[in-house]
Amino acid sequence: MPDWNDDAARDLMSLGGRLALLTRGEGSWVWDADENRYLDFLGGIAVNCLGHAHPVFVDAVSRQAATLSHVSNYFASPAQLELAARLKRLAGTGEQGRVYLANSGAEANETAVKLARLHGNRFAESEGRSRSTILVVEGAFHGRTMGTLSLTPKAAYRDPFQPALPDVITVERSVAGLEQAFAREGIAALIVEPIQGEAGVVELPAGFLARARELSVEHQALLILDEVQTGSGRTGEWFTFQREGITPDAVTVAKSIGAGFPLGAMITFGAASELFYPGTHNSTFGGNPLASAVANAVLGYIESENLLANVTARGAQLREGVRSLPLVGGTTGAGLLIGIRLTAPVAAEVRAAAHERGLIVNAPTADVIRIAPAYTIGDAEVEEFLSRFRAALAAVAETLPAPTATTLTEAPA
């Protein structure tokens, strides 16, 4: 039988190795072509919020596919209208909010970049030139399209594709850094993730978002939150900003919103809702009936089953559970977006050891393991995770030099 790795190497764009050939999933479990079973605690990187093959997801896809799957954006569909109204309600935009439906996180953020341009260009007359500067935060990840890549400071991602968009300034991840950045002229917008998932589940310093809101109002700049990874309930609130007591001008979402169906959205608040006008933006697939119906079913189920309470409770249970495991130095994140900080730069080894033990997690940085399991997990999944993760950590700890291993296996303070 031909090796799937050979097929992948021959036919797929060479963008990185694949860890296994996954063929099916159910709940929090996936199986590979050799029928090995894995507990999926990465969830397609914070996407599969109802796990795999959830009946609500399957039913929504099947029903809508059998009814009306796609229409051009010359037409509206009931599913699309329902989703837009639902997102406005969940985000708390009030009447003035507006929703743009896209197909991915990068596309939602690309729309946000255009929103910043429309806003900045309004100053051409009053200030003699447009405001073109977009502030981003060190460690940010906003996507891989040219616009969003320009907002992503990581050199390894950005450098091969220079030149990037001009006038993107990277702000130090501190309130002082933020204040210093806002001292400059011509700022159109600040775009920021409330928790930086790709940077290793890095939290913003206390008061950062509140100060960002104050400064952006003061300087008439937009505050745009990238909640592609943190939104749609992942952190235990519909949107993470709701815990911070602020209202942005726009928020972007994707990932969990479709539970595995590709979909993204930008939701605007207040006057920012008036910036786009006919002809300025659109997408063939964005907001099509199929994607919209799935998102309605997924968000409706999260709401009716009160899964956000489970996200918060299971998050706390997991944090508590990993605290005393070997090599664990602490945790970051909120709800079911958790960064497990290791006491040595062995995240890649731990990820591989977990994989060998039938557990899927990832290693966004050298010393962080990220987990983003389904919102539906219960005691059984938590216990299974802790048991497999403990074994993986112990195996890696054993390979470390003895004195270090002893120190590292002590319970964290």
Ligand X SMILES: Cc1ncc(COP(=O)(O)O)c(C=O)c1O
Q: Using CB under 6 A as the criterion, which residues of the chain lie in contact with ligand X when the complex forms?
A: 45, 104-106, 109, 141-143, 193, 197-198, 226, 228-229, 254
- Burial letters 9-42, b for 16+ CB under 10 A, else e: eeeeeeeeeeeeebeebebbbbbbeeeeebbbbb
Residue with Cβ nearer ligand X (61 or 254): 254
Rounded Cα distance between 178 and 194, Å, is 14
Indicate the SS3 state at residue 162: coil
Rounded Cα distance between 362 and 351, Å, is 6
Of 250, 313, 253, 312, residue with least CA distance to 47: 253
What minimum distance in Å lies between the beta carbon of 264 and ligand X?
6
Rounded Cα distance between 34 and 24, Å, is 11
Residue with Cβ nearer ligand X (229 or 343): 229
Amino acid making up residue 33: A
Rounded Cα distance between 372 and 307, Å, is 14
Residue with Cβ nearer ligand X (86 or 144): 144
Q: Which residue has its beta carbon closest to ligand X?
A: 105
What minimum distance in Å lies between the beta carbon of 145 and ligand X?
7
Residue with Cβ nearer ligand X (141 or 389): 141
Residue with Cβ nearer ligand X (165 or 382): 165
Residue with Cβ nearer ligand X (229 or 273): 229
Of 81, 144, 78, residue with least CA distance to 110: 144
User: Catalytic one among 141, 239, 241, 276?
Assistant: 141
Residue with Cβ nearer ligand X (265 or 293): 265
Could you give the C-alpha distances from 365 to 48, 194, 201, in angstroms and in order?
22, 18, 10
What minimum distance in Å lies between the beta carbon of 252 and ligand X?
7
What minimum distance in Å lies between the beta carbon of 254 and ligand X?
5
What minimum distance in Å lies between the beta carbon of 19 and ligand X?
17
What minimum distance in Å lies between the beta carbon of 295 and ligand X?
14
Q: Are 400 and 408 in contact (CB under 8 A)?
A: yes
Please indicate whether residue 114 is annotated as part of the active site. Answer: no
User: Catalytic one among 40, 88, 208, 226?
Assistant: 226
Of 121, 157, 123, 150, residue with least CA distance to 135: 150
Residues 6+ positions from 145 with CB-CB distance below 8 Å: 106, 107, 110
Q: What are phi and psi of 112, to 5 degrees?
A: -65, -35
Rounded Cα distance between 222 and 189, Å, is 4
What minimum distance in Å lies between the beta carbon of 378 and ligand X?
26
Of 199, 260, 193, 201, residue with least CA distance to 228: 193
Please indicate whether residue 255 is annotated as part of the active site. Answer: yes
Residue count (the chain): 413
- Burial letters 137-167, b for 16+ CB under 10 A, else e: bebbbbbebebbbbbbbeeeebeeeeeeeee
Q: Are 16 and 156 in contact (CB under 8 A)?
A: no
Rounded Cα distance between 41 and 386, Å, is 11
Of 208, 199, 203, 153, residue with least CA distance to 176: 208
Please indicate whether residue 141 is annotated as part of the active site. Answer: yes
Residue with Cβ nearer ligand X (226 or 381): 226
What minimum distance in Å lies between the beta carbon of 69 and ligand X?
21
Residues with a catalytic annotation lie at 141, 226, 255
